Amino acid sequence: MSARFTGSFTQQEPIPEEGIAAAVEAMRHGRLHRYNLVPGETGEVALLEEEFAAFTGARYCLAVASGGYAMATALRAAGVGPGDAVLSNAFTLAPVPGAIASLSAHPVHVGVTEALTIDLDDLAAKADRARVLLLSHMRGHIADMDRLMAICDAAGVTVIEDCAHTMGAAWRGVPSGRHGVAGCYSTQTYKHMNSGEGGLIVTDDAELAARMILLSGSYMFYDRHGAAPPPEAFERLKWEVPNVSGRMDDLRAAVLRPQLRTLAARCDAWTERYRAVEAGLRGTPGLTLIDRPEAERFVGSSFQFLLLDWPAEAVAEVVARAAARGVELKWFGEAVPRGYTSRYDAWRFAPAEAMPATDRVLAGLLDMRLPLTFSLEDCALIARILRAEIGAVAARGAPADQRRA
Ligand SMILES: *Cc1c(COP(=O)(O)O)cnc(C)c1O
């Protein structure tokens, strides 16, 4: 009757044996620093950079210490500095405004739509306020990139993509991270490849790549990189660009390389799980599913839905009842930041204007992880639990005009 889900929303798959063996090998020889190589050797980090560049089709790739570091480095290399404004999503994770703030710049928040993508009308209205957009494909929802790039190109705005949730995704066949001048990825445990912490940046721009490599702390070892521009690109820059140390080490790269080989298949497995939850929730009164456009090839590593215009107490009750049955929901409507979840108005270092349309979406936005350790049956059970608990709360009070699906 009231089955309880007993799986763990925070349990990843193990590191592939091949990655464990490569990591043990690196620990045995002890040369973990990426530039500590024996003659003729190419390190794991350089190999990962080559392989990830090939995976995305980018000319250049740089591996770094985290996704947040990747974004800050791309912004800095693109010329963002103290006092600058950077357009960015109001709906994203804290490291995104944090990357902007790390340069003593400040975000100009752009709203979110019911499709959970950046509000392109709001972007167009604010495009003259900054030279750079740090675009977060938050929770894997990809905006209409054709229109977005047209708006930014017309306004002379450089786009840097935060692809923490879109590694392996694409818009109209173009990999996420390849629309803007640079794409930033995270390999933190909850993302699509897991090295505990880590980040990757791709670009086709040789000067930007050279700046980012020097910023990451290459010293004068930029010739030991896997997917870097030729040494000439560094000639002038090596005198100008500071070393803001944030390299990746060979241990993490060793753990990541085998995961890259199975990334496409794992992305498909995530999306299968997403579709199983979606199918189980379709038609639930009061619940709005998120439309996924044809042009978007998304990776369903997490699932979102809306209880649009529900009173806060009713949403809170759904969260509590789901939790009691083992289903962990994160709620972006909560007034106080909790766990990983916070909202733009909680980032008080970055003053926000009133954004009522965004507030309405966030107030009803629920979010959950779908780790690959869940089976399709698990996903169906999760959907049944949510359907029942949302139904129970809706039956007791949600006004009739909120019943949509
Ligand atoms: C995780 C995450 C990041 C940052 O990644 P870290 O590697 O943890 O610094 C950036 N953006 C989004 C949307 C994320 O979820």
Measured in Å, residue 164 CA sits from the centre of ligand 1 at 5
Give the closest residue to 60 by CA, choosing from 207, 179, 237.
207
Q: Which amino acid is at 379?
A: C
Active centre residues (catalytic): 191
- Domain layout of the chain by residue ranges: 17-261, 263-394
- Report the CATH fold assignment for 17-261: Aspartate Aminotransferase; domain 2 (3.40.640)
Nearest protein CA to atom 1 of ligand 1, as residue: 164
From the CA of 136, give the closest atom in ligand 1.
Answer: 13
Q: In this structure, are strands 288-289 and 302-306 parallel, antiparallel, or unpaired?
A: antiparallel
Q: In this structure, are strands 182-186 and 158-162 parallel, antiparallel, or unpaired?
A: parallel
Residues in the chain, overall count: 405
Neighbours of 372 (CB within 10 A): 15
Q: How far is CA 7 from CA 11, 16, 29, 264, in A?
A: 8, 21, 38, 24
Q: Which amino acid is at 110?
A: V
Q: State whether residue 68 is helix, strand or coil.
A: helix
Return the CATH number of the domain spanning residue range 263-394: 3.90.1150.10
Q: What average pLDDT does this structure show over 73-97?
A: 98
Q: Is the pLDDT of residue 398 over 60?
A: no
DSSP string, 341-396: B--GGG-TTS-----HHHHHHHHTEEEEE--TTS-HHHHHHHHHHHHHHHHHHHHT
Residue 63 near residue 257 (C-beta atoms within 8 A): no
Distance CA 202, CA 30 (A): 28
Measured in Å, residue 29 CA sits from the centre of ligand 1 at 31
- pLDDT score of 399: 52
Q: Is the pLDDT of residue 401 over 60?
A: no
Measured in Å, residue 8 CA sits from the centre of ligand 1 at 21
Task: Pick from 22-31, 342-351, 391-400 the range whose average pLDDT is largest.
Answer: 22-31
Q: What average pLDDT does this structure show over 121-141?
A: 98
Q: What average pLDDT does this structure show over 111-134?
A: 98
CA angle 177, 193, 108 (to 5 degrees): 40
Q: What average pLDDT does this structure show over 389-401?
A: 79
Report the predicted TM-score, pTM, of the whole model to 2 decimal places. 0.96
Q: Is the pLDDT of residue 402 over 60?
A: no
Cα atoms found within 13 Å of the Cα of residue 341, Cβ hemisphere only: 18
Measured in Å, residue 161 CA sits from the centre of ligand 1 at 12
pLDDT tens, 148-172? 999 999 999 999 999 999 999 999 9
Any atom of ligand 1 within 6 Å of the Cβ of 302? no
pLDDT tens, 21-75? 999 999 999 999 999 999 999 999 999 999 999 999 999 999 999 999 999 999 9
To test the pocket of ligand 1, the residue of 93, 112, 134, 142 to mutate (highest count of ligand atoms within 8 Å of its CB) is: 93
DSSP string, 299-322: --SEEEEE-TT--HHHHHHHHHHH
Confidence of residue 405 (pLDDT cuts 50, 70, 90): very low
Segment (H or E) for 110: strand 106-110
To test the pocket of ligand 1, the residue of 137, 141, 186, 252 to mutate (highest count of ligand atoms within 8 Å of its CB) is: 186
